Amino acid sequence: MGRISVIGAGLMGHGIAQVFAAHGHAVSLMDVEQSCLERALTNIRESLALLAEYDIVRSEDRDVIIDRITTTTSLQEAAAGADFVIEAVSERPDLKRSIFRELDALCLPRTILATNTSVISITEIARDAASRERVVGTHFWNPPQLIPLVEVIPGRDSAPWAIDRAYDLLRSVGKHPVRVKKDAPGFVGNRMQHALWREAISIVERGIADAETVDEVVKMGFGLRLPVLGSLENADMVGLDLTLHIHDYILRHIEDSHEPSRLLKEKVERGELGFASGRGLKEWTPQKMGACRAGLQRHLMEWGSR
Ligand SMILES: NC(=O)c1ccc[n+]([C@@H]2O[C@H](COP(=O)([O-])OP(=O)(O)OC[C@H]3O[C@@H](n4cnc5c(N)ncnc54)[C@H](O)[C@@H]3O)[C@@H](O)[C@H]2O)c1
């Protein structure tokens, strides 16, 4: 499997392009905005420099990696000769559906077409493509250069050979792919992550604790176990009888709304968007944001260089 095309050169697309280029693949990176392509190459250069500082990438390999990436604003050019295409455009079902319809018409019959959607059903994204058997989900996590997990998800019509080829390719570039058995919005990771965020926001909304306390509970408490103990391992460790007793009492008290919370909607209406506006669920000064980003980066780099 040789030539990779990445459609959409934003936050995820540039990192995904970097992963494949760093493992010897020729990569065509496509975006509708020339400025996004230029920013993507700058971001890749900066990321490689940082990875070299932590000995995750060899310093002398950086130029070779960059030279493997070509950029284009033409979908047709990106599709030509591609063996594997990964779409990472904005999270809009209509946009993704039309891109897959076009890619299906433009690509060679052997080409696998993958989407990096965070939550949208793969079946829905593949709906307008004629050869839906080759459309699969490959959900990377941000930053894709450092987080090993990629969820591989079948759509209703995905062929087993397409899933196997996606899985094998991801393994060959050092990722940790997992096979999701069936197409369900949010797949595995985002179903779990957003169940936790819904509860965290609800705790603040109900006045049970403030935002600082909620995050302290995660970071100084159960969050410390998560890198080494999965949720189901944890349930087995404490015992399923205890888990049953706890669920029997607590489930009726925790958030089960099917709508985004009122607090969240009000904040967005007021323009309180988080880092972007300096205020969200917490207050953010430039110093606090810098410290938060630097802490995450250091943590992921140290993990990646183990
Ligand atoms: N941001 C995350 O943490 C994250 C994590 C996992 C998955 N995802 C998913 O990855 C995808 C991309 O997210 P992102 O955060 O990189 O978004 P982004 O906004 O940073 O980048 C999207 C890019 O797509 C480009 N684009 C828009 N229309 C296009 C078109 N028709 N053809 C080509 N390019 C087009 C935009 O110019 C932009 O550069 C989304 O589906 C998102 O849900 C995001």
CATH number (domain holding residue 195): 1.10.1040.10
Let me know if residue 87 belongs to a domain. Answer: yes
| Domain end residue (candidates: 131, 161, 179) | 179
With the most atoms of ligand 1 within 8 angstroms of its CB, the residue from 118, 120, 191, 193 to mutate is 118
How high is the pLDDT of residue 303?
87
Which ligand 1 atom is nearest residue 98's CA?
31
* Strands annotated E in the chain: 4-7, 27-30, 69-72, 84-87, 112-115, 135-140, 149-154, 176-179
CA dist list (Å): 118 to 11, 91, 141, 293: 13, 8, 9, 21
| Ligand 1 pocket residue status of 11, Cβ below 6 Å | yes
Let me know if residue 53 belongs to a domain. Answer: yes
> Over 80: is that where the pLDDT of 1 sits?
no
Shared domain check, 38 and 149: yes
Compute the distance from residue 207 Cα to the ligand 1 centre, in Å: 35
Q: What is the mean pLDDT of residues 30-44?
A: 98
CATH code at 82?
Answer: 3.40.50.720
Shared domain check, 158 and 10: yes
- pLDDT digit string, tens, across residues 262-287: 999 999 999 999 999 999 999 999 99
> Over 60: is that where the pLDDT of 39 sits?
yes
> Over 90: is that where the pLDDT of 231 sits?
yes
How high is the pLDDT of residue 66?
98
Let me know if residue 184 belongs to a domain. Answer: no
Of 88, 87, 89, 67, residue with least CA distance to 79: 87
Q: Which domain holds residue 203?
A: 189-263
Residues 28, 43, 47, 118: which is the catalytic one? 118
How high is the pLDDT of residue 306?
79
| Ligand 1 pocket residue status of 144, Cβ below 6 Å | no
How high is the pLDDT of residue 304?
82
Q: What's the structural domain count of the chain? A: 3
Let me know if residue 253 belongs to a domain. Answer: yes
- pLDDT digit string, tens, across residues 52-108: 999 999 999 999 999 999 999 999 999 999 999 999 999 999 999 999 999 999 999
Let me know if residue 28 belongs to a domain. Answer: yes
**CA 165 and chain centroid, separation:** 20
Residues 77, 124, 131, 190: which is the catalytic one? 190
| Ligand 1 pocket residue status of 7, Cβ below 6 Å | yes
Shared domain check, 171 and 196: no
59 classed as catalytic? no
Shared domain check, 169 and 257: no
> Over 90: is that where the pLDDT of 28 sits?
yes
CA-proximal residue: ligand 1, atom 7 (nearest):
118
CA-proximal residue: ligand 1, atom 40 (nearest):
91
Mean pLDDT over each residue of the chain, to the nearest integer: 97
Shared domain check, 119 and 235: no
- pLDDT digit string, tens, across residues 11-26: 999 999 999 999 999 9
| Ligand 1 pocket residue status of 78, Cβ below 6 Å | no
**CA 185 and chain centroid, separation:** 14
Q: How is residue 303 written in tokens?
A: 């993990």
> Over 80: is that where the pLDDT of 5 sits?
yes
Which ligand 1 atom is nearest residue 36's CA?
39
- Return the percentage of the chain with pLDDT > 70, whole number: 100
Longest dimension (CA), the chain: 59
Which ligand 1 atom is nearest residue 140's CA?
6
> Over 80: is that where the pLDDT of 172 sits?
yes
Shared domain check, 150 and 26: yes
- pLDDT digit string, tens, across residues 178-226: 999 999 999 999 999 999 999 999 999 999 999 999 999 999 999 999 9
